[in-house]
Chain A
C-alpha cells in the first residue's frame, strides 16, 4: 500500500497544528501526505504555521468567514473531493463535533468524536476514544473511508517536519445558502481562565457550604500558585463560579502536575476531567468517597479544618 492522505481542519488555530502533528504520526512515514485546510477568517499566518508543523499541502479557502456549521461542512466537502483523504481530522470541540456530524451525515461516513489516539491501518482507521462518559476507553475501527475523526483537545504529538516548505493551494468557498443565522456572539461570564493549561489546580465541590467560603479555597490556591476549579453543581447550578472553572465531561479537561480535590465526591463525569493529572490529593469527610480511589494522597476530614491548616502549613 502506498501512502495515505489526511486532511486536517480546526477552527482553533492551535488545535489545527496539533492535528497536523498527529496526522504525521497516524500514517506511514513513507509516501503519506498531510493536507491542512485554512478556512475563511483564519489568522493570516495560519498557513505558514501549519506548514512548519508538518503539513505537506496547505489549502487556503477564500470567502467570508463561516458561522454556520452547514457552510463549514460544505467547504470541507469540496476539499474532501479535491484530495480524496483516507482520514479527515477535526478537533473535538463543541463546534468541531457539530461539523464532524454534519459532514459525516452529508457524505454517509463514519464519525468518531472524543478521540485520544488514531492510526490509519490496512483494515481501517483505528481510534481510541472516551467511552461511558469518560469512564472507559473504547477501541473502535472505522471501516468506510474517509473516516471522520474528532480529536480531543489536549491530545498532542511531537512535530515531524521535513523542513521543506508546504505546497500552497488556493480555493474559493462554495456558495452555500446558510441554514442558520448567527445574530449575536457574547463572551461567557468569566471565560478568561484557561484552566486546561494550569500546572496546579485546587478543585472545590459541593462540600463547600456557602459561596463566601470560597475565600478559604482561594487562599489555598494562592499558597499553591494554583487555579481554582470546581465541579458542575457549583458552576451550573449554584453559579458560585463561572463555567471556565468547571472540570469534567461537560466542562474542561485538565492536565496539571498537582490536582487537589476538596469536598468532591468523584462522580465519573468529574473524574474524566482530571484523570490525566500527575499527582492527586483528595480531601473529603467521607472515607468511602469514590475520589479516594483516584488519589495519591488522601485526607479523610472536614475541609473547614484541613484547608486552613494546609494553607498555613504552606505559608510557614
Chain B
C-alpha cells in the first residue's frame, strides 16, 4: 500500500501549431521563432493529477524540460493546482530530442526522490510522437499505460481504461507507474484570477545538468530535424454559386459527375 501519492506531471511548452506560419516561397517553418504554448494534453495531465490529489491526498509536481519560456507552462500548471514546479534547463536545450527529454525526465524523477505516479500527455501538440511516456517508463524500469481515458486509484495499484483504435482495455499496474493521458480524460479547469495571480508569484525550482548528474554528451542528438515544411496540396478552389440552393446543388452534382467521383 502506498502512502500519500507522490505525483509527477510532465508539461511541455511547445510550438503553437495554430499560429505557425510557413514561408510562402519555400514552405519552410521556422520553429525556433514560432509562438509557444502549453501542450494541450499536458493540461489534462495536470488536471487529472490535481483531481487525484483532491480525492486521495498527496502532492503534485509539474516538471518541464526546456528554456526560460517553459516557466509559463509551469505557471499554468500551478494555477490549475500543482503544488510545486521544476524547470529542467541548460544551454542548448533547443537541441534536445525525445530521447534526451525522456532521459532528463528520468534523471529529474530520481533526483526528486521518485514518484508513485507520473502523468504525461499522450502526444505533445507540436511533436505528437507519443513516445515520452513509454520511454520514461522503460528508463525507470516501471510500468506504463498509454492512452488512458479514465484512471482509478486503488491502494495497491492503478487501474486505467486504455483507449485503442477499436477497443477499450482495462489495465492494472502496481506503483510506480507512468500513465499517458489524452484529451478525453477530463476537461481542465480554467484557473481563477486569484489562482493565476498566486501562480505567477511562485518561482519554479531550477535543475541543471549538474544537479541531475547528466553530462551534455549523453544528450547529443539521436534525431536531427533537417527541415519542417508545410506540404502544398493543390486544390481547385472553385466556388459554386447559383440563384437558389437547388441550382447550387445541381451545379455541384454536375461538377462531381464530370470529376467521376459519383457512384
Contacts and interface: CB of A to CB of B under 8 A. Distances in A.
A98 B252 contact: no
B168 A185 contact: yes
B235 A296 contact: yes
A105 B146 contact: no
A314 B262 contact: yes
B253 interface: yes
A294 B233 contact: yes
Nearest to B41: A250
A113 B22 contact: no
B131 A111 contact: yes
A132 to B, nearest CB: 4
A113 B145 CA distance: 17
A296 B236 contact: yes
A314 B249 CA distance: 8
Nearest to B180: A98
Contact of B226 (A112, A135, A139, A268): A139
A267 B135 CA distance: 30
Nearest to A130: B128
A296 B238 contact: yes
B234 to A, nearest CB: 9
Contact of A182 (B133, B169, B226, B253): B169
A208 interface: no
Nearest to A190: B166
Contacts of A105: 102, 134-139
A269 B130 CA distance: 15
A110 B222 contact: yes
Given A132-B126, A281-B252, A309-B245, A180 B145 contact: yes
Contact of A140 (B225, B252, B253, B261): B225
Given A137-B231, A180-B143, A250 B183 contact: yes
B135 A104 contact: yes
A14 to B, nearest CB: 13
A140 B225 CA distance: 4
**Size band of the interface chain B makes with A:** 35 or more
Contacts of A94: 130, 146-147, 163-165
B15 interface: yes
A114 B129 contact: yes
A191 interface: yes
Interface string A96-118: 01111111111011111110000
Nearest to A106: B138
Interface string A252-279: 1000011000000001100000010011
A187 B22 CA distance: 41
Interface string B216-253: 00000111111111110101111110001110111011
B263 A143 contact: no
Nearest to B233: A275
Contacts of A46: none
Contacts of B255: 297
Of B126, B249, B262, which is in contact with the most chain A CB atoms at under 10 Å from its CB? B249
Interface in B141-172: 142-147, 159, 163-172
A45 B166 CA distance: 23
B99 interface: yes
A172 B236 CA distance: 56
B164 A95 contact: yes
Nearest to B248: A299
B84 to A, nearest CB: 26
A280 interface: yes
A188 B173 contact: no
Of A101, A141, A184, A252, which is in contact with the most chain B CB atoms at under 10 Å from its CB? A101
A303 to B, nearest CB: 10
A98 B261 contact: no
A301 interface: yes
Interface string A134-166: 111111111110000000000000000000000
B127 interface: yes
Contacts of B73: none
Given A137-B231, A249-B128, A306-B245, A93 B165 contact: yes
B97 interface: yes
Given A140-B225, A309-B246, A184 B170 contact: yes
B251 to A, nearest CB: 9
Given A102-B134, A278-B261, A296-B237, A181 B17 contact: no
A306 B163 CA distance: 36
Contacts of A209: none
20 contacts: A70-B144, A73-B138, A94-B130, A102-B135, A105-B137, A110-B98, A111-B131, A113-B130, A132-B126, A137-B228, A137-B229, A139-B228, A180-B144, A184-B169, A250-B183, A279-B261, A292-B237, A299-B240, A299-B248, A312-B249
Interface of A: 67, 69-70, 73, 93-95, 97-106, 108-114, 124, 126, 130-144, 179-188, 191, 200, 224-225, 236, 244, 249-250, 252, 257-258, 267-268, 275, 278-281, 292-301, 305-306, 308-310, 312-314
Interface of B: 15, 17-18, 20, 22, 29, 97-99, 102, 123, 125-139, 142-147, 159, 163-173, 182-184, 221-231, 233, 235-240, 244-246, 248-250, 252-253, 255-256, 259, 261-263
Ranked 5 nearest A-B pairs via Cβ: A105-B138, A101-B134, A105-B135, A179-B143, A101-B131
